[in-house]
Structure 1
Amino acid sequence: MKAIVLKKFGGPESFELQEVAVPEAGAGEMLVCVLATAINPLDCQIRRGDYSGHVPLPAIIGHDVSGIVEKIGPGASDFAVGDEVFYTPQIFGPKGGSYAQYNVVPQTLVTRKPANLTHEEAAATTLVGGTAWEALVTRARLQPAESVLVHGGAGGVGSVAIQLAKAMGATVYTTCRGRDIAFVRQLGADHAIDFTSQDYVEEIAVLTEKKGVNVVLDTIGGTTLSQSPHVLSDGGRVVSIVDLTTPQNLAAAWGVNAEYHFVFTRQNRGKLLALKTLLESGRIRPIIGARFSLEQIPDAHTALERGEVNGKPFHGKVVISVA
């Protein structure tokens, strides 16, 4: 099979297109023909070597799959050959990721693809959708009529989080660049704050009449953890999906009885089943900003890191057609 192999840690040029053996499905596993995948910031971090201790080289990485079941391993009885499925492969798993024509996956991570989505659309939702669900539902326990501030609402996780929060009945505030305000409002954001020209702490105070928000979702890092207590209501929750290495002063969190959660995404079928329902009902929609082929994955990484294709900014996921 064709695969994009990470030969060394570094820039997008570190990938190489190779012919490799098709992996074998073991007990409780399935072999899936990958029809589409997508690029995530996590992929760029792995490529750069941020998690070098977890990724022996050479490696096939990638964390989104939409495709068709090709073979069933012993004891994998939940699916049949020919089923259309979508899922996130095991992160740092031994069987490799989605930058290839085939992937082996435990059946417990897999869900049937939403009937109303193309394979590219389905591949654009798995990792970001699962992460948004883990952050807002599992960790933050967001409730109807509560409020949430989504930092980086125009990004991959942020754009899904806005839609998910609205589907849950929350009031959504978000930060973004001025050029992205119309986009995040189309997703359902009630209030958009241009972080390049506005102080979001001051804006939240005005917009909420100093009551603050119930939940902050941090997708950007920086000083978000230390600033969050200044926008939280009493008993508010902060969820960060960013691996921060710089210490921050959280003394202000005591004054609002703040709760902090740190999420490195983990996948299971339950999350995807819930997301599938929302996707099939149209309450969440995939956002595709750019398309590339398997051979063009180095270019796709460049596009994601620059936030533009051919000099033009884009919104949404960078997807890869594998077939």
Structure 2
Amino acid sequence: MRALIRTGSSNTPTYTATHPPPTSTSDPTNYIIRTHATSLTRGELAWPEPLIPSIPVPGYDLAGTVLSIPSAPHPTGGAYTFAPGDEVYALTSFSGLGNAREVSVAAEREISLKPRNVGWEEAATVPLSALSAWQALFVHGKLEPVFPAKGESRNEGKRVLVTAASGGVGIWGVQLAHQAGTTVVGTCGTSNVEFVKGLGADTVLDYSKTKLLEWVGEDREKRGFDVVLDCIGGQTLEDSWKCVREGGRLISVAEPPDSKTPAEGIKDGVQSTYFIVEADGAQLGEVTKLIEQGKCSGVLDSVYDLAEWKEAFERLEGGHAKGKVVLKLI
């Protein structure tokens, strides 16, 4: 079958039409899925975990149709949740093969039914980015994952900052924090200000015109944050420490916050977390509900055929993509 592979420790993939497809005997505990689309993540060709398999394949978002269920008995003794023909999507394990291949696999705990109101390419933009934001806000940030009508939220009065709010994780951080009833501030460049406002940000700071630390410092009590989701790292992460309210939380998906702890200016009781997103079909199912209700959506920058992988990675690594870059396989 057609596939994109990483050879050895190389960061340069290779396109092949002779990659061996998975079988029920080689993966008895996994679903076999016909891949319709996968999305790429900036920097993923430098990740060490995906080099564990002997023939590594990139692309950890999966949108496709179930071909067969696991051949092994269900570990609980019951029936498997999904059936052949089901349209599903998932974030699959970074230690396994990715999904830039015509037929892929996924474990039941990784899978959710695809939102009925979106196509394959848009569905492929969702899992990794949405789950990263979900876990940052609701697992590590301790916000309540409830999305009632405005004015009825258990998160009323909470303030959330999302840096790089127009990026893959930032897009979902803004949407989920907004739907959860918090006051959301996002940072981005000039060309994306209106876009981030449209995602639900109450205030958008153009980093080319406004210094985050200076803006917060004008009235730290009023403008400080209960949760900061930093998607940039570096100096922005260091500055973010000083933007968190007393007892608040600083969550980073870019690098460990402890490495950027300033010598002074941190409020009492601020907690920090760095994490790598984990596959979770149940959480993805909650995201699916929000998409089907029209409350959230993935953002599709561009679509390329698998054979056009070079152009896809060039678009991705160029730093100008708004949303996700997707490879289609059908």
Give me the TM-score of the superposition, normalised by structure 1.
0.90
- The secondary structure found in structure 2 opposite 1:127 is helix
Q: Could you list the runs of 5+ residues in structure 1 that have no partner in the other structure?
A: 309-313
Instruction: Please say which of residues 283-292 and 22-31 is displaced more in the overlay.
Output: 22-31
Work out whether residues 50 and 58 of structure 2, in 8 Å CA contact, stay in contact via their aligned partners in 1. no
Classify 1:245/1:158 alpha carbon distance in 2 versus 1 (closer, same or farther; 3 Å): closer
- The secondary structure found in structure 1 opposite 2:245 is strand
The 2-side partners of 1:152 and 1:301 are apart by 20
1:249-289 per-position Cα deviation (integer Å, ceiling 9, x unaligned): 34447533101011101011111111111111111111111
The 2-side partners of 1:211 and 1:288 are apart by 32
- The secondary structure found in structure 2 opposite 1:87 is strand
Structure 1 counterpart of 2:326: 319
Work out whether residues 29 and 105 of structure 1, in 8 Å CA contact, stay in contact via their aligned partners in 2. yes
Paired letter, 2:94: I
Structure 1 counterpart of 2:23: 24
Q: How does 1:1-323 map to 2 (within 5 A)?
A: 1-10=1-10, 13-25=12-24, 26-41=27-42, 44-45=43-44, 47-48=45-46, 50-51=47-48, 54-74=51-71, 75=73, 77-93=80-96, 96-143=97-144, 144-145=155-156, 146-206=158-218, 210-243=222-255, 247-252=259-264, 255-308=267-320, 314-323=321-330
How many residue pairs end up in the alignment?
311
Classify 1:246/1:142 alpha carbon distance in 2 versus 1 (closer, same or farther; 3 Å): closer
Task: Let me know the Cα RMSD of the aligned residues.
Answer: 2.1
Deviation at 1:319, TM superposition (A): 1.3
Work out whether residues 204 and 212 of structure 1, in 8 Å CA contact, stay in contact via their aligned partners in 2. yes
Deviation at 1:82, TM superposition (A): 0.5
Classify 1:245/1:105 alpha carbon distance in 2 versus 1 (closer, same or farther; 3 Å): same
Work out whether residues 7 and 16 of structure 1, in 8 Å CA contact, stay in contact via their aligned partners in 2. no
- The secondary structure found in structure 2 opposite 1:247 is helix
Paired letter, 2:133: A
Work out whether residues 193 and 200 of structure 1, in 8 Å CA contact, stay in contact via their aligned partners in 2. yes
- % identical equivalent positions: 28
**Structure 1 residue ranges, 4+ long, deviating more than 4 angstroms after superposition:** 8-11, 207-211
The 1-side partners of 2:55 and 2:103 are apart by 17
Deviation at 1:109, TM superposition (A): 1.0
Paired letter, 2:5: V
The 1-side partners of 2:295 and 2:69 are apart by 33
